[in-house]
Amino acid sequence: MGLKAGDNVLLPSFICRDVLAPFNELGLCINFYNVNELLQPLNLENEVKAKAIFVVNYFGFETYLSSFLEYCKKNNSLLIEDNAHGLFSKSKDGLFLGQRGDLGVVSVRKSLPVENGAILFQGPDNKSLQLEIITHSSIRLFVKKTMRLFVRLLGINFFLTLTKLKRRLRKSIYGTEVPVSSNEDELIIPMSPNPADIDKYFLTIDIDNEILRRRELFKLVGRILKSDHVRPYREQLEAGEVPYGFPFFCEQNEVERIKEKLKNNNLEIVNWPDLPSHLVENVPAFYKNLYIVKFLW
């Protein structure tokens, strides 16, 4: 890519902290641009000149590239497209999200029930797909697959009860119900690229059915939360979009009530993103008020 230590890169400030790790490992100088409540960039023309700019397709929804392409043309910058949330989503032009920049990345585990794995797109002229597969056994993945079988037999309430017990046990041991990231996650990539059983899953998944499931679930959650004290990030789906979940903005004093309402429909929410530590105190309030109804376990 031609990037070297000390080069400027430009990332959105609305980002998960662990995304910073590969840039920090390469010794790049990370700068941030802000986004509005539609998660579109603000004033890119006034930002620092960077060798590469990073655009995120949040939650599997297309982020429009016009302002990014103008920035790249002006500054001779590379465009890196983060499509971690949108494995099956396409743009209005019919391209898979992640194929529109100089590099595009997709996180397989965010959309499919596999332990890890990623896809790298190289473009925009070369749309080749690289998928490194190193199959190995995974105890964690085996346990999850086994639990899914019990869920099918015993129902979703069994899973929810089991999850609650697991989180209580984890809290008694580690102090938190779910894993909490640390400052180190911004600096060091946590594991080597070693996907587990990803090829086997791709051979068996009904992709059309998974796309339909996610789109229908998005509509269902929209109906459940309609007229409630929430503001959906998106009201409707475009034809090619396959949502990662149902994102919405909600004041923090309403969160527990919304959680209970969704729990009655066997759904749960998480707050997103886990912001970089040095940005937490200096970001707009809406950065901290976004939640996602999960579509995958």
Asked if residues 116 and 195 have their Cβ atoms less than 8 Å apart, the reply is yes
For 162-177, the pLDDT digits (tens) are: 777 877 887 787 776 6
pLDDT class for 8, splitting at 50, 70, 90?
A: very high
Residue 154: pLDDT over 80: no
pLDDT of residue 184: 78
pTM: 0.85
Between 2 and 27, the higher pLDDT residue: 27
Higher pLDDT, 245 or 195: 245
Identify the band that residue 148 occupies on the pLDDT scale cut at 50, 70 and 90: low
Query: Reading across the β-sheet that carries 78-82, which strands appear in turn?
Result: 29-33, 8-12, 52-56, 78-82, 103-107, 118-122, 129-130
